[in-house]
Chain A
Amino acid sequence: MDAVINRFIFLLKKRGVRISPAESQDAMQALAWVALHDRDTVRTVLRSTLIKDVRDQPVFEELFEQFFSLPKASPSPESVAEPPPHPETAPEPPATVAEQTQITGQPDGDNAHEDALDIRDYFDDESMATHFDSHQDANDLSLAEFGQNLLLSRNRDLLDQVIRKAMQWLKTRRMKSVGRAGELNLDEAIVALNADVIAEAVTELLDELNDMDVDKNLIQRLSSRLDGGIANLPELLKRYLERELALQPPPKMPEPSRRAMPNYRFSEQERREMTEIVQRLCRRMRGARSYRRHISHHGRISVPLTLRRNMKYEGIPFQPVMTHYRNEKPRLVVICDVSLSVRNTARFMLHLVYNLQSLFGQVRSFAFVSDLVEVSACFEQQNIDEAISTVFDGGLIDTDVDSNYGHALSLFHNRHLAAVTPQTTVIILGDGRGNRNPPQVWVLEEIRRRAKQLLWLSPEPRGSWKMGSCDMSLYEPVCHQTEVVRSLRQLGRVAEDLLRRSVTPH
């Protein structure tokens, strides 16, 4: 079982879900507490122990469906037998036993494509009777069930091993045979497959079964069908490959976009670095001290307040009163240009916005080209890749028009200026190229007047600010600070700079 769950976790991690070893351990422990035959329970247990972020849930659900389900591609009845048992297909232990037989090897290859009646042959009345006789007690039954489930999963692990060995063998075969390039000729290779390898593995499995003290009947059946297993290997191999294929991340659907989309995915490294830098930036902004002293449990003893409060004890200071300067909570408004002219850096910018959003308590983010729209909710609910593609796909705003800073700014002024208070830091991300539309500098002045700090981060180098229809020269004097940022390194430098310099409210 451990191997199966480990593999599941590995696949989850591959899809970008963060799972720590401690959580994997929890999952194993939790599974020990519940009955494994109930699919939904297993799903809930794994979800609650492994998935700690609501945004990761869809990935989990999808993978769970794929990983613990019946391969639909195979038409033969044995396809029903895939662990962990489905509540419908495996309602009782005999079925589970049958599954084991099925997985280890179909008795004879001829039956592989016959109808479903086939499966019933494996547990005729006699064997079912013995099975139930040996486990009449209800407790015993569930125990056996659990044991068999466990066995079942180990069994699969072993099967995987067998098949891997077989594949290895196949690969070496292919080198020798002059077949069509790059194509796996199964039929031919299987004939030559080293039967020893498989026989060995199946014996190993039998030993294990013996150790685990299960139905003697089953073991007998298995050993008698050892040859059948080998004969049936191509079928198994096919199923194995199909399953592996199904577990590959689905190919990305071609974007319905008019342009070729750049890659919006971020590597783990990038994410970490960005988070680190934004955290530093965040600390700088937190550093702003409020000028009012607050009563608190730490800080300095305030003599006047202490005296006043202790008047009732005849001036004996029973209750010291302490005050300290509280750091203000930073509030952030981020306005990000996502137009064509900054498209290559917009991905980076939105990444920055996303991080700001997740690290600061109160962030409102807006995206604009010509129209301006609030994207805070979208960034809060989705993961970064989704959020960014939502913005670029044009569902929220038309991303194909020319950018119009003046229009966007005045929209902001009309609709959202209330979001700017004396505690707010406003960050504008964009190149200031308004395509000769009225720049509406007065809006920016208004924002500056209300905000604590107005920061403009432009992806364009300073030298080109005077070229073309760039309004940066108009906007720059209004801002408290303008910086050129187009990569993580530069952002890091800006953060450092902000840390060093004490930017006081004007």
Chain B
Amino acid sequence: MFASIEQTVAQLRDQQYLCDRKLATVAFLALHMRKPILIEGPAGVGKTELAKAVAAALDRQLIRLQCYGGLDEAHALYEWEYGKQLLYTQILRDKISRLFEGVGDLHEAVEQLHLHEDVFFSEHFIVRRPIFQAISSPDPVVLLIDELDRAEEQFEAFLLEVLSDFQVTVPEIGTVKATTIPYVIITSNNTRDLSDALKRRCLHLFIGYPNEQRELDILRMKVPALQETLATQVVAVIRRLRALELRKAPSISETLDWARALVLLNADALTPTLLEETLHLLIKYERDTQQVNERLPWIVESLQSRSPPEASAAETLLHPPARPAEPDVNYLEQRRQEHTARYFTSYRGRTDGRTGG
């Protein structure tokens, strides 16, 4: 249990999750106020990790609901198990026909059938999907609703009942109240605004990129094999990359990947060539690569100054040198393909129909 804010920080640290007081305060409050946390922030800053760390720290099971375009209540809340219902009717055919032995006309038969209707619409025939599972679990769990912004707005409406009252209404059965209150964490990548009704029910938390010192700490904790000087260099380069106007700035997860790669490569220190060779671990768009290559001298500059992070004026903003003049239209013309590809790949709808089943 998170007994105090300090303890929350410590307990999360035990789970290899370094967080500041701000985050810990919200995590602590969420547990005691029984309110869901809504976490927003760029991709890869540890939103999902927080849920895992909280689950481990509280020793609870983590139930995860990954949202996607077209997600509906049948996948998130519950679903009737048609197959089982049909199978049961097939198997119980004699029993059912025996039911109607003494029955005269059709009217009576229907009446008779009505009496036994609830046999087939009972909780036995409900497939529990993540949210239902979370509230009906005998032990409290951590429910992670990941990337809610990917689901449609209508889906948010399904969540409202669960989030504020911790109950699910199944029309055929009635309202199912939570046996235990789950610790709910909702993450959003901010691709669209969530509805006010949902936001109102949550504690809001914005996680951004960490400052230099924290990032260094995280790096030391997660990649212990990384040498100290190298870690400082890695963080310095990452900071400069973030100062550029990239389509996708490298986040913590990318920093960690890069650090692990450097360890694998047995690097002692970061050289400009090594940086250039491993840049694709950090930069995910062709256009960004272009931009980084243009400014490479400026980034490499950070490798020379071996000053510890404390000395290098921790919070001063980094200003990349001015960009060379905008390339002409013909060059942009060449990039049309890239644009097209990006547009098509960014379509998030499901076209594959149902999976499994």
B117 to chain A, nearest CB (A): 19
The answer to whether B90 has its CB under 8 Å from any CB of chain A is yes
Interface stretch (choices B59-67, B197-205, B260-268) = B197-205
Q: How far is the CA of A118 from the CA of B87 in the complex (A)?
A: 87
**A48 & B200 in contact (Cβ 8 Å cutoff):** no
**B196 & A45 in contact (Cβ 8 Å cutoff):** no
Q: Which residues of chain A have C-beta atoms less than 8 A from B32's C-beta?
A: 33
A-B CB contacts (within 8 Å), total count: 106
Q: Which residues of chain A have C-beta atoms less than 8 A from B351's C-beta?
A: 294
Beyond A54-B190, A297-B74, is A34–B332 a contact (Cβ under 8 Å)? Answer: no
Q: Which residues of chain A have C-beta atoms less than 8 A from B5's C-beta?
A: 34, 41
Q: How far is the CA of A26 from the CA of B26 in the complex (A)?
A: 12
Beyond A48-B25, A296-B354, A421-B343, is A26–B205 a contact (Cβ under 8 Å)? Answer: no
**B26 & A44 in contact (Cβ 8 Å cutoff):** yes
A27 to chain B, nearest CB (A): 10
Q: How far is the CA of A477 from the CA of B75 in the complex (A)?
A: 47
Residue of chain B at shortest CB distance from A424: B343
- B225-250 residues with Cβ-Cβ distance < 8 A to A are none
**A26 & B35 in contact (Cβ 8 Å cutoff):** yes
A361 CB contact (under 8 Å) in B38, B192, B205: B192
Beyond A295-B354, A297-B354, is A54–B206 a contact (Cβ under 8 Å)? Answer: yes
Residue of chain A at shortest CB distance from B84: A318
Residue of chain A at shortest CB distance from B341: A418
**A23 & B83 in contact (Cβ 8 Å cutoff):** no
What 1/0 mask marks residues of chain A from 40 to 79 whose CB sits below 8 Å from any chain B CB? 1100110111011110010000000000000000000000
Q: How far is the CA of A20 from the CA of B200 in the complex (A)?
A: 8
A183 to chain B, nearest CB (A): 45
B49 to chain A, nearest CB (A): 19
Residue of chain A at shortest CB distance from B202: A52
**B332 & A415 in contact (Cβ 8 Å cutoff):** yes
The answer to whether B306 has its CB under 8 Å from any CB of chain A is no
Q: Which residues of chain B have C-beta atoms less than 8 A from A40's C-beta?
A: 21-22
Q: How far is the CA of A296 from the CA of B75 in the complex (A)?
A: 11
- B253-310 residues with Cβ-Cβ distance < 8 A to A are none
Q: How far is the CA of A353 from the CA of B158 in the complex (A)?
A: 29
Beyond A320-B82, A418-B336, A418-B340, is A52–B349 a contact (Cβ under 8 Å)? Answer: no
Beyond A18-B196, A411-B329, is A29–B83 a contact (Cβ under 8 Å)? Answer: no
The answer to whether A419 has its CB under 8 Å from any CB of chain B is yes
**A48 & B26 in contact (Cβ 8 Å cutoff):** yes
**A297 & B33 in contact (Cβ 8 Å cutoff):** no
The answer to whether A329 has its CB under 8 Å from any CB of chain B is yes
Q: How far is the CA of A415 from the CA of B204 in the complex (A)?
A: 38
The answer to whether A473 has its CB under 8 Å from any CB of chain B is no
Q: How far is the CA of A362 from the CA of B343 in the complex (A)?
A: 10
Q: How far is the CA of A231 from the CA of B303 in the complex (A)?
A: 64
Beyond A26-B35, A30-B29, A416-B339, is A297–B200 a contact (Cβ under 8 Å)? Answer: no
Q: Which residues of chain A have C-beta atoms less than 8 A from B101's C-beta?
A: none
Q: How far is the CA of A105 from the CA of B55 in the complex (A)?
A: 51
B329 CB contact (under 8 Å) in A29, A362, A414, A417: A414
What 1/0 mask marks residues of chain A from 390 to 430 whose CB sits below 8 Å from any chain B CB? 00000000000000000000010011111101000000000
Q: Which residues of chain B have C-beta atoms less than 8 A from A362's C-beta?
A: 346
The answer to whether A316 has its CB under 8 Å from any CB of chain B is yes
B27 to chain A, nearest CB (A): 10
- B308-357 residues with Cβ-Cβ distance < 8 A to A are 329, 332-333, 336, 339-340, 342-344, 346, 349, 351, 353-354, 357
Q: How far is the CA of A418 from the CA of B287 in the complex (A)?
A: 15
- B66-123 residues with Cβ-Cβ distance < 8 A to A are 69-70, 72, 74-75, 79, 82-83, 86-87, 90
**B203 & A319 in contact (Cβ 8 Å cutoff):** no
The answer to whether B40 has its CB under 8 Å from any CB of chain A is yes
What 1/0 mask marks residues of chain B from 165 to 200 whose CB sits below 8 Å from any chain A CB? 000000000000000000000000011110010011
Q: Which residues of chain A have C-beta atoms less than 8 A from B82's C-beta?
A: 318-320
Q: How far is the CA of A54 from the CA of B206 in the complex (A)?
A: 7
Beyond A45-B25, A320-B82, is A414–B332 a contact (Cβ under 8 Å)? Answer: yes
Q: Which residues of chain B have C-beta atoms less than 8 A from A109's C-beta?
A: none
Q: How far is the CA of A361 from the CA of B332 in the complex (A)?
A: 26
A436 to chain B, nearest CB (A): 22
Q: How far is the CA of A320 from the CA of B357 in the complex (A)?
A: 10
Q: Which residues of chain B have C-beta atoms less than 8 A from A51's C-beta?
A: 204
B interface, CB within 8 angstroms of A: 5, 21-22, 25-26, 28-29, 32-33, 35, 38, 40, 69-70, 72, 74-75, 79, 82-83, 86-87, 90, 190-193, 196, 199-206, 329, 332-333, 336, 339-340, 342-344, 346, 349, 351, 353-354, 357
Known: A362-B346, A418-B343. 18 other contacts (CB 8 A): A20-B196, A26-B33, A26-B203, A33-B29, A33-B33, A34-B29, A40-B21, A41-B25, A48-B25, A49-B203, A53-B193, A294-B351, A297-B74, A318-B82, A320-B82, A358-B193, A361-B192, A415-B329
Could you list 15 examples of A-B contacts with CB < 8 Å?
A18-B196, A22-B200, A33-B33, A34-B29, A41-B5, A48-B25, A51-B204, A52-B200, A54-B206, A320-B82, A358-B193, A414-B332, A415-B332, A415-B339, A418-B342
